[in-house]
Each structure stands twice: as C-alpha cells, then as structure tokens.
Amino acid sequence: MNYYSTNGKAPLATLQKAVVKGLAEDKGLYMPQSIKPLPQSFFDKIHDLTFQEIAYQVADCFFGEDVEADALRRIVNDTLSFDVPLVKVSDPKGEGQKGAIYSLELFHGPTLAFKDVGARFMARLLRYFAPASGGKKVNVLVATSGDTGSAVANGFLGVEGIHVYVLYPKGKVSPIQECQFTTLGQNITAIEVDGVFDDCQALVKSAFIDKDLTDHMQLTSANSINVARFLPQSFYYFYAYAQLKKLGLADNVVACVPSGNFGNLCSALFGKRMGLPVKRFIAANNENDVFYYYLMTGSYYPKRSMQTIANAMDVGDPSNFARIYDLYGRSHEAICADISGATYTDEQIAYTMRQCLCETGYQLDPHGACGYRALQEGLCEGEVGFFLETAHPAKFKQVVDEICDTDIEIPARLQAFMQGKKQSVGMSKNFADFKAYLLKQQ
C-alpha cells in the first residue's frame, strides 16, 4: 500500500519509507491510499476473539500487503503483552445497563501509558524494515513533556539498529517520568534541554530539515505523526467494542477520547472507516480548545499551548488535525456528524476527579477525568459510553493526591524505574549546539 502526504506535494511513499522518514518531504503527514473495510464475519464473532487476534486482523488490513504474515503476527503479539480492561465506572440512571459509563484502562503497559502500544509497535516495525534500509542505523528523535518520552524509550529499549534521543525540558517533567527515560542506558540517550517543551520540539523539527544532519544520519520521529505509531492505537477501539458486545451493549456505543495531538482519536476514526460500529465520538480537551473551537466555528486557529494539570494534552496545534481533516474530505459538516467536542478548565477537571471518586469509588487521572466528564454531560438516552483512561493516576501522583486527598500507591513497575541511576546529556536550546552534538554521533 502506498501513502500520500496530506499536503499533496510529496511523492507517494511505501510503508517502509513512511515509517523510516516519519514526515513527508512537503512536511505533510502520511495517509494510507485506501482503508480496507473488515468483513461482517469479523464483527459477528469479535466478542469471542482475544485482544491479540482482534489486533492482528486490524493490523493485517493496514500493513498486511507490506509485512509478511508471520512477522506481523509476532509484532502484534510482542506489542500486546498486557491487557486493556474495560471497567464499569458509573450507571447514571441506575436502571439496567444502558447509559452506563465504562473506562477503557489503557495504562497496563510497561510505562503505564497508552502510548506504550504505539511505541512498541513502531519499534518492532522499524526493526523489521531496518535491514532493507541499507543496514544504516535509524535514529529516533522525540521531544517530550513526559509521557511520550517514557513510552518511546521503553518501547525501543534494546532494539537493535535503532538509537533513541529523548529531548525533555530541564526541571519540567515529574520525577517519576524523568526516571523512566533517563535510567535506561543502552540505545537510549536522554537530552536535558535548558528550556521549555516548545524548545525541545523546535530542536527536533529543525534537525529533521537540516541537510547536514540528514546526510550524516538517518533521522525519524516517534511522535504520533508517524503512521506506525498512531495507527496501531485503533486496536483499542475494536477491543472495547468486543468487550461491550460480550455484555450485550454494542448497539449505541459512544467513544470519548481525551485528546492532545489527536493521534488516538484519529486512529479511532480510521477504525470507524473500517466498519467499527461506534455511533459517534467525543473529543475531550482541557483548556487547550483549538479543536473544540474548530467544531463550533469551522475555523482552525492554532494557538500557543497552555499549561494544565492534564499536561499530556497541552497542545495548541494538534498535528493530527491534518489527518482528520483529510479523512473527512475537508468537510466541517462531515467531521461534526461523527465528532463532538468538550473542553474543561483545571477546576472542572479537579471537581470531576473528586466527584467521581466520591460517588463511584473510581480513581481518575486528570486526562481520563476530561473523558469521564464529557460522557457524563454528553451521553444521550439509550447510549453506552466508554472513555479512554490514558494514564495510571500514580503517574500524576502529586496532582491527584492533592486534589483527591489521597495517598495513591505507586505500582511496583514505576518504583523499579525510580531505583535506577539518572544519566542525561545537558543541552542548551540553541540548535547549533544540538546539531554539533548529533554530528559527533554515529
């Protein structure tokens, strides 16, 4: 299958090129030329399939033409070595199960973040393609405000032929998050930038377009602009649907997605295009409301990101908007027919976390709280909703404990990271310094 650029000015690319390059030459995002629907027989028996089997069938539609079946099955099985349970949180009407709200807990992976699946899948697919790219080492650059860095670093740890550089703002990521990518060693280098997240992002972007650097080394991105990172996230939605179907609740399903760069929601929309019977979607945002504003007005105005307590969603110009826009033929009307929006202040997020804990006993993290609240407010008669709980509350322990007056336990997996020794390379926010550093690397 070939991939085209959302900017329409770059040549078509193979899957290999799209994955190894990340971004198209014209700075557009790669899109598959066609989206294969899954057969009705798949949906008829989906509730009897395992997560791995469902994911393989979905992956086969996207990648089956370009990756051998055995290899693809191995990539899927290695990626999904953990479960994604659907947990009932509340039943607003208290009668029967319709109108119930479920949490799809995406935080049971190695770094307790939903990005684990995309990162692990991408690492393995890149490894699969690496020999074909001339045996040259592939260097992954990733800018992070916390969550992406840990998922990518752990997803790529020990993968041969790939080196990862994680750029993060000094003093601006939580201690738990910092441990998750600075203590690993091996093929992971943490770069501590004397600046803010936007500076890290700017350094990465400049590197991709610097000819001296791209001649010197093969560079790619592991942010959700990469097709190998965002597409596998669609597995979640098929699996959630399967679990609801098992409960006899698959008729009027609403999926609510806490969103930042919109990779996750975008993968869900691809799922719908493949036939997934989800009735509609809600994009839940914090105060960074660019997409919400677009839904309301039809105008897209990127802004500077604002800092919130749901900081993995602090994005002022979501990169996957270009994909959603393209997928719906640039029609505001078509987008609004499938997706509605919601936006919440920190106060509303905090209130929702307390209220949910008090009324249902369920501990939300600030990101999931946006999703839960949007369903609470937006679910209609006869609908069943699930929201994606994108991070384990312990990852945001300080904020969560302060809001909910709790002392939540840090899972053993997180504690283990905190025992390692921090190793990082200090860097100024000047591109010349970063470039000189990379030019010295192999």
State the residues that interact with ligand PLP by CB under 6 A.
Answer: 113, 115, 147, 224, 258-264, 312-313, 367, 390-391
Nearest to 222 by CA among 174, 258, 181: 181
Given the complex with ligand PLP, which of 224 and 305 has the nearer CB atom?
A: 224
Given the complex with ligand PLP, which of 48 and 402 has the nearer CB atom?
A: 402
Dihedral angle of Cα 139, 160, 108, 282, to the nearest 10 degrees: 40
Given the complex with ligand PLP, which of 125 and 257 has the nearer CB atom?
A: 257
Q: Output the smallest distance, CB 303 to ligand PLP, in A.
A: 16
Asked if 19 and 126 touch (Cβ cutoff 8 Å), the reply is yes
The SS3 assignment for 341 reads: strand
In angstroms, the CA 37 to CA 407 distance is: 46
Given the complex with ligand PLP, which of 258 and 385 has the nearer CB atom?
A: 258
112: left (phi over 0), alpha (psi -120 to 50) or beta: left
Given the complex with ligand PLP, which of 113 and 375 has the nearer CB atom?
A: 113
Positive or negative CA dihedral for 422, 425, 430, 434?
A: negative
Given the complex with ligand PLP, which of 63 and 262 has the nearer CB atom?
A: 262
Given the complex with ligand PLP, which of 180 and 264 has the nearer CB atom?
A: 264
Amino acid at 59: A
Q: Output the smallest distance, CB 229 to ligand PLP, in A.
A: 9
Residue 231, both tokens: 């597409």
Q: Output the smallest distance, CB 329 to ligand PLP, in A.
A: 22
Q: Output the smallest distance, CB 322 to ligand PLP, in A.
A: 14
**Tally of CB atoms within 10 A around 401:** 14
The SS3 assignment for 430 reads: coil
Q: Output the smallest distance, CB 438 to ligand PLP, in A.
A: 25
Q: Output the smallest distance, CB 180 to ligand PLP, in A.
A: 12
CA distances 68 to 13, 39, 74, 125, 128, Å, are 19, 21, 10, 11, 10
In angstroms, the CA 188 to CA 228 distance is: 19
Q: Output the smallest distance, CB 116 to ligand PLP, in A.
A: 10
